[in-house]
Structure 1
Amino acid sequence: MKLTGKGTLGLAATAAVVTGTLAGVWAGSHGAETPSRGSEVVLAQADDVLPSVTSTDWVTYADRVVVVRPTSDREIPATEEENEAGEGYIGRSATLAVDKVLWSRSGAPAVPRSLTLDVAGWAFKDDQRQEFAVHDTPRLETGHTYIVALARLDDGTWSILGSGASLPYDGGVIGNGESEGNTVEAAKPASKSVSAARTAPGTSHDVEDSVEDSVEAQVNGESDDALVSLLNDTAPAPDAS
């Protein structure tokens, strides 16, 4: 699967959408005046370029599914316009160690052992800052392990397929770890209701009816073997462009 343009998938697309509306998001949040770890995270809905929720989405649009560990991250400064306005979005890029390849599309390019990707950063207003996350989606933080579905773009860079394409994977259990900036357990997964907001723009693919069929729901609490079996048993969408 070849896709044109750098940063057209996953959080890059989401951040572009929410940057212009963070004032409303901030007003609707309930974090402390001086946010700290454990204060409420600013959440936004995703506006994914491609569907990324079901196993059909993954095997149709992803090139590789891998286990990764964030090893470091850095801030991406807000724009001059946002700084002048006193509110906006501070980006973040994370370096991810690729520990294991779980699934590959036939003919997929080799994935490097280390990737640097744009991930969720922070919303800010004046001198306040709060962690930013997409609903039901990990922020990808150091100290945790994740499973992600990746697509390589035409310019050779890699991107997470979309907001449904990353799963917590601490301790070898899918659903254990970090999601939305909080620690979650497989027995108490993040709410699936928000997944209904994930719709690929320009398509008729509304995942509201496929939440129960999501990758997350089907392999929650399992090891990566269950995910590999699921993907191997799934056929790509026949009408994908």
Structure 2
Amino acid sequence: MRHTTGIAVSGAVLTVLGLAAWTARAEPPADSALPKSGLVLGHGMDRYPSGSANEWVTYADYVAVVTPMSETEIAADATEVERGEGMIGRQVTMRVDKILWSSPQAAAPAPQTFNRDSSGWVFKDAERAKFALHERPRVELGHTYVAALHWEPERCSEGDPTEPAHWVGLGAGSALPFDSGVINKGEYEGSVQEAPAPTMPADTQGIEIIDLPVTEVMSGKGETELVNLLEQAVPQTPLQRVMRPQVTTVC
């Protein structure tokens, strides 16, 4: 079983979707071309619910400030190379700078570093364009992020190699730009955005706030406000894994 670019921290299965003639079809028309903007956007499926503070404290083992330190290309498979179009992934080594929140039932000690497979590029013949997922960071060197991390145990799928235990993100809502300590400032969808003005009052609290997407509640705010939000949040009864239902057996 091949995971197209193996997104791990963002927790996504990729389909090319976005600009010019690139659609969700597995094989774009022969006359399709990469977008002149140099960026292709795609959509992914969340591994776990990932939007609200309640969902973060339900499914995450830790919420951390993280920084990408290095990256390595993941080559396209032989079928894509022969066809002349496909995807090139990236493995990014992440440094954990600070733990902001820990689950009382964390499944593993907090990591100091971890590897995540990230979106990289799409290619057609000799050209390639940067690939990013819609409504989430691409995760690039030179930037900082807040991430809700979940420990996935080793799993087996019949007929496939064992999937080692590793750190993953919950989904689209669980990795946020965090340059200069400001949420939603920095790299997002492969582009850099400036610090946004806070969208909610600094003293907002209560049931409504912990059920809203963290990216909306915390936009333009900092570490202290995020920690306070997570301390208000209430863990819920976890749902079953959203992504990859065929990988069901803990080895």
1:200 maps to what in 2?
none
1:31 counterpart (35, 40, 48) = 35
Matches within 5 A, 1:137-152: 137-152=136-151
Give the drift of 1:169.
Answer: 0.5
1:177 maps to what in 2?
186
2:94 counterpart (88, 93, 96) = 96
1:43 maps to what in 2?
41
Q: Summarize deviations over 1:82-106 as a string: whole Å, max 9, x none.
A: 1111111101010111100011111
Q: How many residues align?
A: 207
Give the drift of 1:31.
Answer: 2.6
The whole-number CA distance in structure 2 between the counterparts of 1:236 and 1:26 is: 49
2:134 maps to what in 1?
135
> What is the one-letter code of the residue matched to 1:117?
R
Listed as ranges, the gaps of 5+ residues in structure 2 are 1-5, 18-23, 155-164, 199-208, 241-251
1:161 maps to what in 2?
170
Cα 1:225–1:128 change in 2 (3 A) is same
Query: Aligned Cα RMSD in Å?
Result: 2.8
2:56 maps to what in 1?
58
Q: Summarize deviations over 1:168-201 as a string: whole Å, max 9, x none.
A: 0001111110001101123279xxxxxxxxxxxx
Q: Summarize deviations over 1:205-226 as a string: whole Å, max 9, x none.
A: xxxxx9x921100001011111
Equivalent residues of 1:175, 1:221 under 8 A apart = yes
Bigger Rg, which one: 2
- Give TM-score, length-normalised by structure 2: 0.74
The whole-number CA distance in structure 2 between the counterparts of 1:25 and 1:53 is: 35
> What is the one-letter code of the residue matched to 2:183?
I
Equivalent residues of 1:135, 1:180 under 8 A apart = yes
Cα 1:29–1:64 change in 2 (3 A) is farther
Q: Summarize deviations over 1:56-106 as a string: whole Å, max 9, x none.
A: 221111111110111100000001111111111101010111100011111
Equivalent residues of 1:10, 1:49 under 8 A apart = no
The whole-number CA distance in structure 1 between the counterparts of 2:186 and 2:68 is: 13
> What is the one-letter code of the residue matched to 2:168?
S
The whole-number CA distance in structure 2 between the counterparts of 1:91 and 1:82 is: 13
Equivalent residues of 2:52, 2:213 under 8 A apart = yes
> What is the one-letter code of the residue matched to 1:157?
H
2:71 counterpart (67, 70, 73) = 73
Structure 1 segments, 4+ long, off by >6 Å, are 25-30
> What is the one-letter code of the residue matched to 2:35?
G
1:236 maps to what in 2?
235
Equivalent residues of 2:65, 2:100 under 8 A apart = yes
The whole-number CA distance in structure 2 between the counterparts of 1:153 and 1:218 is: 28
Listed as ranges, the gaps of 5+ residues in structure 1 are 1-6, 33-38, 190-209
- Give TM-score, length-normalised by structure 1: 0.77
Equivalent residues of 1:9, 1:49 under 8 A apart = no
The whole-number CA distance in structure 2 between the counterparts of 1:153 and 1:230 is: 25
Cα 1:171–1:105 change in 2 (3 A) is same
